[in-house]
Amino acid sequence: MYYTRVVQLLATAGLVSAQWGGGGWDFGGFGGNTGGWDMGGFGGNTGGWDMGGNTGGNTFTEVDNTPVNREKQTPTQFFDSNGAYFGPDCDSTNYGGAYYTGDYTSPFKTYLGKSEEEIQKKLDQLWSHYFKGDNNSKVFYDTGNEGYILDVNNNDVRSEGMSYGMMIAVQTDHKTEFDKLWNWAKNHMWHKGGGWDGYFAWKRGSNGQGGDDNCAPDGEMYFMMSLLFAGNRWGGSYNEDAQYILNRMWNNSQHKLFNPSYNVITFQPQGNENNFSDPSYDLPAFVDLFSRWSTSNQDRWKAAASATRDHLYKSSNPSSGLFSDYNNFDGTPHSVSYNSNASKYMYDAMRCAMNFGMDYYLFGVDAKRQTEMAKRLINFFEKDGYSHARFNWDGSGGSEQYTLGETGANAVACYALMGDTSYDNAIKKNLKMAWDASLMTGQYRYYDGLVHYLAMLHLTGSFKIWKPAPKNVGTKTLNTNVINGVTYKAGDVIDYWEDCKLYKATIAGGSGGATTNPGTGATTNPGTTTNPGTGAQSGQSSARCSAKIRVQGYPCCKAGCTVVYTDADGDWGVENDQWCGCASGSGNKTCVGAQGYPCCQSANIIYYTDADGDWSVENDDWCVIRK
């Protein structure tokens, strides 16, 4: 089916006029010194954004290193208060992830019933604890114009922690702390020139001295991604810095972050360490975005995105679902003389669950295999009772107590199980453990604490893909006032996503009972002969009132509901003028059509079949046959 998402911009037309400035959104470009992002290729065969264009614009500029001053506005579903965009987008083939839908609904809301207020309170608690707490809780240390994340146990500063801190700061809109961290990393870790040009020293003392000039690739990955997000969210010179690093990861003559023969990230890009990997460095969602936004080596990044997904899948033990800390490019464990635990599921490996869970809900490109991985992993920990933390790759030899980091990472893996109702209890259990967990204090709070913090950003719907802003926004008038279960007033202006294009849509009115199908819009002109639903988003399907319905923000209907619409997500009813999901086998079905087309009255010749049903033609227009 066609995919539509809408959001009310402001409650009053006067404020809407001020926000839109009369002439529509003008977001300018994001080129910096590179001349603007050339994003025209995103649309594929289905249209999509035209994100190329000139720098400047009335609202966004990035022609120098001066931070962009954006007028504050009321946040909407797809834009934050700075006007930064995290909404839908299109490729030639579209999937079910948030990149394509703009939907970041928190499973804490849909599975545990947590309110927006409770979720925000949890986020505030995490920030206050790890960034503003006392010396027994915080890991962020402010030194004026700079700041660093301290590995408390080892009493040093690591690229891993610095880049994690920057990702947390950009996702929670803490620009001041982000800049302090980036200043510290630039001044004390970042190599600009020399053999390690573009890379980061993986360890320094808290005074910025000493340590080790060599890199740890997870740091490079999070540095690049957080800088790209910061550039898209805040403007400034972050994109320019990110592009420098992205370029050197392939073009440094002495060090390649990804093994060029396998396109898989290395344990360390030098010597023998170039010939094996650490699967917890596999971040397919990040590499996918690099392949879209890097201004260099795009073919390399594209190949690496596919290879990264393959490697992460191969790294999952076919029985236990566990990963080893170090492994070969074929996914089997790799042993080294300097780490006796390298071939086991240890400290690094627990992050793999978060990595594939993240990729599942952000993109969904590899959803089938990632669901397979999640089932193996969660089945294993269910049998273990979430008791142990360290294992052999095959799951034997369990030791140590289940950790806070694992609690968060495994809960993110559960994204890949949502929609399979047989896993609902396990999903709720993992979510509840992540939500209820006590935040860490003391000597070992740095690593597990930050992994859990990152996981909580994913689980609260707060980890978003901050994108280059859409330049061309269309206008449209809608003759219905109930869309996606939300009732609007005549004159309201909303964002309307249809046919891979974002519109400024004005509600013209219409009957209060005129309900647009959830998640859809009528996108083909009457009388056309194209198949209904062509170009539709190929998101992951689920049945009945499962998590796939609830995760869209819709509740389940009461028992015995009347089914008025059916799609790949299941049976839908309407209660209190709001869409809801009907349980399997409940109620009677009343045909109301699909995608804006009516039900057939008498036609019964099937010309086309898709997830919405069987289609025929009546009165020179498409109609859907309901049984």
What does the alpha-carbon distance between residue 413 and residue 411 come to, in Å, rounded to a whole number? 5
Set 103, 160, 241, 366: catalytic member: 160
Bridge partners of 572?
A: 565, 581
Residue 469 makes CB contacts below 8 A (sequence gap 6+) with 25, 27, 28, 30, 60, 83, 84, 85, 232
Helices (H), 134-283: 159-171, 175-188, 217-234, 238-251
First and final C-alpha spacing in the chain: 19
Contact 166, 147 (CB under 8 A): no
How many CA within 13 A on the CB side of residue 119? 21
What does the alpha-carbon distance between residue 93 and residue 65 come to, in Å, rounded to a whole number? 36
What does the alpha-carbon distance between residue 105 and residue 120 come to, in Å, rounded to a whole number? 13
Whether 26 is catalytic:
no
β-pairing verdict for 501-507 and 474-478: parallel
Whether 348 is catalytic:
yes
Set 348, 406, 567, 610: catalytic member: 348
Q: 112-138: b or e for each residue (b if 16 or more CB lie within 10 Å)?
A: bebeeeebeebbeebbebbbebeeebb
Contact 113, 106 (CB under 8 A): no
Contact 414, 374 (CB under 8 A): yes
How many CA within 13 A on the CB side of residue 498? 26
What does the alpha-carbon distance between residue 623 and residue 627 come to, in Å, rounded to a whole number? 13
| CA distance to 279, 347, 438, 563, per residue, from 405 (Å) | 16, 9, 12, 42
Residue 254 makes CB contacts below 8 A (sequence gap 6+) with 195, 196, 270
Bridge partners of 566?
A: 571
Q: 222-242: b or e for each residue (b if 16 or more CB lie within 10 Å)?
A: bbbbbbbbbbbbbbbbbbbbb
Q: What are phi and psi of 106, to 5 degrees?
A: -75, 130
Tokens in use for 482? 């109930």
User: What's the longest Cα–Cα distance across the chain?
Assistant: 81
Helices (H), 294-423: 298-315, 351-362, 367-384, 404-413
Dihedral angle over CA of 456, 463, 223, 303, nearest 10? 110
What does the alpha-carbon distance between residue 203 and residue 219 come to, in Å, rounded to a whole number? 10
β-pairing verdict for 578-581 and 570-575: antiparallel
Q: What are phi and psi of 85, to 5 degrees?
A: -105, 135
Residues serving a catalytic function are 160, 348
